[in-house]
Each structure stands twice: as structure tokens, then as C-alpha cells.
Amino acid sequence: MNADKRHQIFERLRAANPHPTTELEYTTPFELLIAVILSAQATDVSVNKATRKLYPVANTPASIYALGVDGLIPYVQTIGLYKTKAKNVIETCRLLVEQHDGQVPREREALQALPGVGRKTANVVLNTAFGVPAMAVDTHIFRVSNRTGIAPGKNVDIVEQKLMKFVPSEFLMDAHHWLILHGRYTCLARTPQCWNCVILDLCEFRKKTPAPSKAI
């Protein structure tokens, strides 16, 4: 795909949604971090239902850490893998309190040192909470990037590298939100809604999108 076509694609996505953001509900970087940890292999809807009950009770590292794993589980048990996630959240809160004065670090290395925080989660926090151009490649972005031809790659790392290189700088801050939402609501995995696609004529449809070679 040439640069002009990529530019047109993101121009249209921006025109359709000028101010995209995550569908996870949060008010602070810490609330976003916890929500993203909980969202692994779960829907944003299920996470929002849980955090709507949790955050009015505890929404700081110290207050959630004080709940302990057993105290946190009742709030998150409707989310997949809730036992592991509860342990990761409590340990993350401990480290934030003990090593970061209760603040979410702005450095990738420090974020990824927290339990339950991989590269994708760190990218979401860096981009959405701190305004850092970053590309959080989830299954939606991986699929859309390959299927459309925007940034084809055999694994999430390659797709991320290509997106960071090929997405025009003026769109880079919001690009991952546009791609996620496009994959979630239009460019569906099994039955893409091409009839409802604003970039249909620019898309270089890949019928055989490769499966990610590593967990996302």
C-alpha cells in the first residue's frame, strides 16, 4: 500500500470519528491501567461493569491493595481469568505504592515490570493516559492491518513496527483507536461489513489474514 492511500484511509477514519478514545471507563491513569489489565481476553463491557462497582469503593493503589486478593475477587469475578488478574492487580498496586509513590510510571520499562502488564497494555496507558504516540496492537488491529494492507505482518511486533513507521505523523496519536474501533464494529473477523466501510475503495482486502504467532 502506498503512502497516499494510507493517508486517505486515516483522513476518512478521522472524519468519521474526530475524537476517538478507549471504550474502557476511567478517570485517572491508575484506573485506566487497572481496567486494561482486567481487559485481557475480556470485553470492555464486562470490565466496565466490574469497575463501576469497584472504583467507588477503591480506585487508588493503596485502597485496592488494602482489599487484598480475597477482597478484590468479588468485584472482578465476572471477568475471565479473574483469579490471576486479581493477583496481578494486587501485586501491581503493591509495587506502585512501594516503588512509585502510588503513581503510574510514564516509562515503558517501568510499566512492563508490573504484573499483568505486557507491551500492549503499556502502549494503551502511554498513549491514552499520557499522550505518547504508541500502537497497542490487539487482535482487531492485527486483523485490520493485515486485511486492509495498511501494515501487513506475521506477528503483532511486526505490525506494530510497520504501523509506527507507515502511519502519517498527524494521525499517529489516534490511529490505534480508529483501527480498534474499525475492527470491532466494521471489519469483523468472520463477516466484515464491507457494505458499511468508509475505506472500502482503498482497502486491499486480505481474505486470509494470518493468525498471530504469539499471544496478544
Q: Active-site residue numbers?
A: 120, 138
Task: Return d(Cα 196, Cα 208) in angstroms, integer.
Answer: 20
Separation CA 157–CA 141 (nearest Å): 12
C-alpha cell of residue 196: 458499511
Q: In whole angstroms, give the CA distance from residue 203 to residue 205.
A: 6
**Quick one: DSSP state of residue 192?**
-
- Cα–Cα nearest to 134, from 112, 115, 101: 112
The string of DSSP codes covering 110-146 is HHHTSTT--HHHHHHIIIIIH--------HHHHHHHH
d(CA 62, CA 42): 25
155, amino acid identity:
N
